[in-house]
Amino acid sequence: MVEARDPLVEARKQLRRAIDLLGYPDYIYEVLAEPERVIQVKIPVKTSDGVKVFIGWRSQHNSALGPYKGGVRYHPNVTMNEVIALSMWMTWKNSLAGLPYGGGKGGVRVNPKMLTPRELEELSRRYFEAISDFVGVDLDIPAPDVYTDPQVMAWYFDEYSRIKRGIYPGVVTGKPPELGGLKARIVATGYGVAVAVREAARRLLGGLEGKTVAVQGFGNVGYYTAKYLAEMGAKVVAVSDSRGGIYLPEGLDPDEVLAVKRREGSVIHYPKAKKKVSPMEVLELDVDILVPAAIEGVITEENAGRIKARLIAEGANGPTTTEAERILTERGIIVLPDILVNAGGVIMSHIEWVNNRMGGWITDEEALRKLESKMSENVRYVLSYWEKKLEVDKHPVRDAAYMIAVERVVNAMKLRGWI
């Protein structure tokens, strides 16, 4: 069994590497290794078994570039260190995306599947009430994450508006369209991944047309990634979910696979598949492009030597370990890092936030065009920086992404007189 990793230790290692590559003094690392603020709250909820007490956090890592921005997750294994690490990663993701945001993240240690709808609403409202003095349209803007959704954001928005005696739709993003959200938000992350892959393939693989793709994870991100890549001319030959995977050399129809998954409960029931494979075997198929879009830590030192794809695009957060990336780099396999590839969600959140502040100014079609333009620009810039500033056979693209992101934050801190 793989020993659980402390995500904060990993986040600080990545920061340390970027600081060293940029040649910054140690005090820069010390300033950025800790969050500006962490709020811990107690959340009592009345249940059929009596009152249960849950613990929640909101970590606000850095605000040099703008208000804190990042989601809130509900999970039974959430820890304060995890929330702090995620807020640090959001600082880099927002910076790299060129957004006027700092990094924030929230979490509540709870299994939401064990709560009734009424209990889930009470938990959500009490959590947001507890952090209401620390969030705001120009201060900290939460959003959905693991096991939270537009309905939870609607409760947050309503509770905050009740407490502050006003209507503040911009206090959260990822809301239902009826409350100022954008329908395009549901496709944003997967669409962003597809755009990133297309841009990288044009530069590194001679184009996307006809290139074979395997997608591990067929949830929201994985499905929309597969759907849009297929529409862009790629051949999606394999996908998987938690119950297994399927492989069809001639190419799968993502919409047909989704229909089967919804009807039968898993992609493994897709009748046209030539063979079934495990989710881990999907990673090792002979394809041009691999998109790990499920969970963290799936590409490790143990299986990195068997990866055959020429390009890996991290749709999930942290799917590749540091040791695995070193092996992949030595083998000439290019990894597009998560903070670049899966930024479509937060970019769309920024569009929603601006739309709320301006009273409604954009259609969903326009929002997707803006997302495509921003993702394309960011991928081209990061790859150009990587090729011009680093030895590409020795440095993964992640080094370039982190150097750009950290440098932007440090420059903002210097301009504001913080350091």
Alpha-carbon separation of residue 107 from 76, 250, 328 (angstroms): 10, 42, 32
105 tagged catalytic? yes
Catalytic one among 69, 93, 105, 261?
Answer: 105
In the block, tokens 């997750």 appear at 73
In angstroms, rounded to a whole number, what is the distance separating the alpha carbons of residues 93 and 295? 18
In angstroms, rounded to a whole number, what is the distance separating the alpha carbons of residues 405 and 360? 30
In angstroms, rounded to a whole number, what is the distance separating the alpha carbons of residues 66 and 18? 21
Three-class DSSP labels, the chain: CCCCCCHHHHHHHHHHHHHHHHCCCHHHHHHHCCCCEEEEEEEEEEECCEEEEEEEEEEEEECCCCCEEEEEEEECCCCHHHHHHHHHHHHHHHHHCCCCCEEEEEEEECCHHHCCHHHHHHHHHHHHHHHHHHCECCCEEEEECCCCCHHHHHHHHHHHHHHHCCCCHHHCCCCCHHHCCCCCHHHHHHHHHHHHHHHHHHHHCCCCCCCEEEEECCCHHHHHHHHHHHHCCCEEEEEEECCEEEECCCCCCHHHHHHHHHHHCCHHHCCCCCEEECHHHHCCCCCCEEEECCCCCCECCCCHHHCCCCEEECCCCCCECHHHHHHHHHCCCEEECHHHHCCHHHHHHHHHHHHHHCCCCCCHHHHHHHHHHHHHHHHHHHHHHHHHHCCCCCCCHHHHHHHHHHHHHHHHHHHCCCC
Residues counted in the chain: 419
Three-class DSSP labels, 75-110: ECCCCHHHHHHHHHHHHHHHHHCCCCCEEEEEEEEC
In angstroms, rounded to a whole number, what is the distance separating the alpha carbons of residues 340 and 180? 26
- Across the chain, which distance is largest between two alpha carbons, in Å? 62
Catalytic residue annotation: 105
